[in-house]
Amino acid sequence: MGLNGSDAQSAEEKAPTGAAKPFTTESGLTGSVATAAATGVDGPGRCAYDGKATAFAFDSPAGETLSWTFVGVRGVDDQVPEPTVRKILGTVRLVDSTP
């Protein structure tokens, strides 16, 4: 998202994070979701655009803290709209990973 430890501005200034809010997926996973948006990105190459991230954290039935994150650019013509990100987030579910 164009954040670099050597930047003069702190991460909090360049990518303020919204307050975490309760969220429940369609499958019944309950946790918290928060969004951060990077602004003022001026680096070349892969950090040439402002970005946005949405993260969802929740506890598994086994007590593990798990998360799902969407990261994308913002301020471009083909930016993924927030309603689409939320629609995708709503489909997050646990799957049995045993062979």
Nearest CA among 19, 6, 23, 41 for reference residue 92: 23
Tokens of 18: 């919204």
Rg over CA atoms, the chain = 16
Tokens of 58: 């929740």
Q: 44 pLDDT exceeds 50?
A: yes
What is the pLDDT, as a whole number, of residue 1? 38
Q: Provide the pLDDT confidence category of residue 42 given band limits of 50, 70 and 90.
A: low
> pLDDT tens for residues 46-90?
566 788 899 999 999 899 999 999 999 888 888 999 999 999 999
What is the pLDDT, as a whole number, of residue 4? 42
